[in-house]
Amino acid sequence: MEDKNKNGEEEEECSIDGDILASILSNLPLLDLDSACHVSKSWNRAVFFSLRRLKSTPWLFVFKQRSLSPYTLAATAYDPKSEKWIELRTGSSPVEHVSAARSSHSTLLYALSPAKLSFPIDAFHLSWRHVAPPRVWRIDPVVAVVGRCLIVAGGVCEFEDDRLAVELLDVESGEEAWERCESMPQYLSGSASSTWLSVAVSAETMYVTEKASGVACCFDPETKSWTELLDFSPSDCRLYSRVIGFVGNRLLMAGITGDEDNPTGIELWEVDSTGSPMKLKFESIGSMPTACLEKLRGIDSDWPLTSIVFNAVGDMVYMNNAAETGEIVAAEIEGRKLCKWRTLLYADARGHAGERLIVACSNVSFSDLKRAFRDDLRFSVMV
């Protein structure tokens, strides 16, 4: 392969067959792939062809938000392909005047204030869209995106008439008109907020389950109504807390065994919800190793483990302590089972005094990376 130098003369490169080079490049992390584009024209072509084999990479994003104004967000990301933490630096935070940003169902980051509801529309959470707030005043609602529908449920302030109110916004309609839907089931009246509920979304449905009891139901954006009850409680295992999430079209559940003061393990299942609603099928896909559980709990293992944060995207699963202590635990999905368990060794991936920790995921593609560079995002690999 040959390219011309600055003087117009042809210079020889190390001869590597184009298909072989493309195959090699398809195994590189995205940041290295970007560097490979600038080696030569032939390498640039090889990068282009390698993208046919390259899948999106499931990055983990850790945001720290100040608890005092301005409520700026500082972001770091973990690339599982390179197993490196990356500091993300950009301009002003789009939510610096909002007191609390939150995450939901692994891939959604949002910020709700009396003036607007904001959420990012790109993989790196750089470009945010701002829409009118829901008509019902809320503090800690369940928020989800199913297809083109933005759904806000529960978390209603005490002075509102309907504490279980549900609203829906079609984000592609061009109008910012929230529609009232069927309210959440009455049995959720004591737990209708994101603190007590875990949410997961498929391409067509939002699943909501009580973390403590496992009682759950589904919301259909098309009919704007709720289904009958589900029971996310395996018959052969006693859980005191559980969280759910989707990987592709697979519904996964992570549950803590034992009790808050003495958790004995974290088990994970794939849940088959296609049969009878009250007879879900649970297939075990893995157990968190004891060493990882201890790291997740943190230095002070005497502190109760009340709940965990569960993020899943692509072929990766990430879990951390909801109390913002301890380390983040990661595992890979291979052959429908979890393997390659590890803790992510980055000391700043936890909350500190005066900060809140928000964890989310994104499938990051090469085009996402190039777009982020155009938006002036700067990357710094952390040691």
Integer Cα distance of 363 and 383 in angstroms: 23
Residues 31 and 121 grouped into a single domain: no
Torsional sign, CA 334, 336, 339, 342? positive
On the question of pLDDT at 68 being above 80, the answer is no
User: Which span out of 20-29, 284-293, 307-316, 337-346 was modeled with the highest average pLDDT?
Assistant: 284-293
Integer Cα distance of 85 and 199 in angstroms: 27
Residues 50 and 62 grouped into a single domain: no
On the question of pLDDT at 93 being above 70, the answer is no
Q: What is the pLDDT of residue 30?
A: 77
Residues 140 and 244 grouped into a single domain: yes
Q: What is the pLDDT of residue 9?
A: 44
Residues 131 and 109 grouped into a single domain: yes
Find out whether 216 and 178 touch, Cβ atoms under 8 Å. Answer: no
Q: What is the pLDDT of residue 301?
A: 60
pLDDT, tens only, 212-227: 999 999 999 999 999 8
Q: What is the pLDDT of residue 373?
A: 75
Query: Could you tell me if residue 360 is inside a domain?
Result: yes
Model confidence band, residue 167 (pLDDT cutoffs 50, 70, 90): very high
CA angle 365, 371, 377 (to 5 degrees): 105
Query: Could you tell me if residue 95 is inside a domain?
Result: yes
Query: Could you tell me if residue 8 is inside a domain?
Result: no
Q: Give alpha helix (H) positions in the chain.
A: 18-25, 30-36, 41-50, 290-297, 366-374
Model confidence band, residue 125 (pLDDT cutoffs 50, 70, 90): confident
Query: Could you tell me if residue 373 is inside a domain?
Result: yes
Q: What is the pLDDT of residue 97?
A: 59
Residues 346 and 285 grouped into a single domain: yes
Q: What is the pLDDT of residue 1?
A: 42
Residues 28 and 60 grouped into a single domain: no
User: Which span out of 87-101, 110-124, 330-344 was modeled with the highest average pLDDT?
Assistant: 330-344
Model confidence band, residue 263 (pLDDT cutoffs 50, 70, 90): confident
Across 1-30, average pLDDT: 59
Query: Could you tell me if residue 216 is inside a domain?
Result: yes
Residue 138 carries which side chain, given as an amino acid letter? R
Q: What is the pLDDT of residue 12?
A: 44
Model confidence band, residue 90 (pLDDT cutoffs 50, 70, 90): low
On the question of pLDDT at 307 being above 90, the answer is no
Q: Based on C-alpha coordinates, what's the Rg of the chain?
A: 22
Work out the burial of residue 345: count CB atoms within 10 Å of its CB; fewer than 13 is exposed, 13-18 middle, 19 or more buried.
exposed
pLDDT, tens only, 350-376: 555 667 788 899 988 888 887 877 766
Instruction: Give the CATH number for residue 370.
Output: 2.120.10.80
Residues 49 and 103 grouped into a single domain: no
The mean-pLDDT minimum among 56-65, 67-76, 193-202 falls in 67-76
Average pLDDT, the chain: 82
Across 222-244, average pLDDT: 91
Query: Could you tell me if residue 4 is inside a domain?
Result: no
Residues 271 and 293 grouped into a single domain: yes
Q: What is the pLDDT of residue 94?
A: 60
On the question of pLDDT at 325 being above 90, the answer is no
Model confidence band, residue 10 (pLDDT cutoffs 50, 70, 90): very low
Across 84-88, average pLDDT: 84
Residue 357 carries which side chain, given as an amino acid letter? L
- Residue 253: CB atoms within 10 A of its CB come to 27
Residues 22 and 139 grouped into a single domain: no
Across 13-17, average pLDDT: 54
Across 152-170, average pLDDT: 91
Task: Report the number of distinct structural domains present in the chain.
Answer: 2
pLDDT: is 112 or 55 the higher one? Answer: 112
On the question of pLDDT at 70 being above 70, the answer is no
Model confidence band, residue 122 (pLDDT cutoffs 50, 70, 90): confident
On the question of pLDDT at 37 being above 90, the answer is no
Residues 35 and 106 grouped into a single domain: no
Give me the residue label for tokens 């589904």: 218
Structural domain span for residue 351:
55-381
Model confidence band, residue 22 (pLDDT cutoffs 50, 70, 90): confident
Query: Could you tell me if residue 178 is inside a domain?
Result: yes
Query: Could you tell me if residue 1 is inside a domain?
Result: no
Q: What is the pLDDT of residue 299?
A: 64
Find out whether 32 and 82 touch, Cβ atoms under 8 Å. Answer: yes
Residues 49 and 198 grouped into a single domain: no
Residues 23 and 136 grouped into a single domain: no
Find out whether 40 and 3 touch, Cβ atoms under 8 Å. Answer: yes
